[in-house]
Amino acid sequence: MFIDRVKIRVRGGRGGNGVTAFRREKYVPRGGPSGGDGGRGGDVWLEADESLNTLLHLRYNPEHTAESGRHGEGSNRTGRAGADVVVRVPVGTQVFDAETGELLCDLTAHGARYLAARGGRGGFGNAHFATSTNRAPRYHQQGSPGEERELRLELKLLADVGLVGFPNAGKSTLISAISAARPKIADYPFTTLEPHLGVVDLGDFRTFVVADIPGLIEGAHRGAGLGDRFLRHIERTRLLLHLVDVSSFSGRDPVHDYEVINRELAEYDRKLAEKPQIVVATKLDALDERNRLERLRTRALSDGREFHAISAVTNQGVDELLRAVARKLDEIGIRAAKETESLGA
């Protein structure tokens, strides 16, 4: 099961109490106070782990509390600090305050950490309060409670390329043809119910990651179909492949489908609609009316977008598409590097 949104409650460990104690050794007259401090409570950390790809393990385990610190002891012995708790989350997890909605952290790299709840401070023992005028204090401090908060975690998959289009546009067929991903493929709408990632090997140790999300339909931004809840998984992508079914038996107008999907992207987030996009006509093996393909090509080129036509079933045009994607990703990387240099200057 793919779970990409959960709420969890985190609580730092309580600090241990200080202690009131006095030295009682033989031959040590007026030994004085010897109460040690309490140990600090443990912290709760969130840590990104690339071996995870869903938040499912947190849905059934929403409470995370660190160990409390031990109390202080006599002979000026400080209590042991509480052990930390590390909550593992997938790379790409965003951490929000559940009450305010504030974005607290974005864990985008393996091993990245976020201190979700700090442990409480240990209390001082009576030895801490001894002064020249108060040599035998008979009081100590209680340990303070740890931080407690409710967090909302949202996963945004990290991929280089995102596949968008209507249901049954051929997204799952394409990702299964170019990578080892094996999403469900069938001849009915909404076969894909959750996002899938695939790694494409270009040779010469070059790869890129593709994200396949469930199909969109008109009105998705208002909740139609599966809505737009999965669109955030392509927000981090650098390039979109917009797949349009041009087969004669689909009964759909390719140009209309192309316009609808771009409109839905813009309704969700204008920045998403402005991402670099390659338009891909799919299912060439089932094309009988050539004008359907040419009308879509004309419209895509008029929008200044690169156009390719493929059949993932027969592999027609797939290699050319992959070379175009690799070239486009290189261009985007060079452009981003130049922008970074100009900002640094």
Distance of alpha carbon 79 from alpha carbon 207, whole angstroms: 52
Total number of domains constituting the chain:
2
Same domain, 15 and 29: yes
Same domain, 232 and 289: yes
DSSP 82-101: PPPEEEEEETTEEEEETTT-
| Per-residue model confidence as pLDDT tens digits over 33-73 | 999 999 999 999 999 998 887 888 898 899 999 999 999 99
Same domain, 190 and 328: yes
Distance of alpha carbon 253 from alpha carbon 332, whole angstroms: 31
- State residue 172's pLDDT score: 85
The β-bridge partners of 7 are 152
Q: Please, which pLDDT band fits residue 186 given cuts at 50, 70 and 90?
A: very low
Say what angle helices 290-302 and 254-268 make with each other, to 10 degrees: 30
Domain boundary residue, one of 155, 181, 196: 155
Domain boundary residue, one of 128, 155, 182: 155
CATH number at residue 50: 2.70.210.12
**Backbone conformation region of residue 282, classed left if phi is above 0, alpha if psi is from -120 to 50, else beta:** beta
CATH number at residue 172: 3.40.50.300
Place of tokens 């927000």: 235
Same domain, 13 and 90: yes
Same domain, 120 and 10: yes
Domain boundary residue, one of 98, 133, 155: 155
Contact at 8 Å (CB) between 315 and 289?
no
Domain that holds residue 238: 161-344
Same domain, 109 and 169: no
Do strands 277-282 and 306-309 pair parallel, antiparallel, or not at all (unpaired)? parallel
| Per-residue model confidence as pLDDT tens digits over 222-259 | 555 445 667 777 788 889 999 999 988 777 899 999 99
For residue 178, the surrounding DSSP H or E stretch is helix 171-178
**Contacts (Cβ under 8 Å, ≥6 apart) of 171:** 163, 164, 165, 192, 212, 213, 215, 243
- State residue 217's pLDDT score: 66
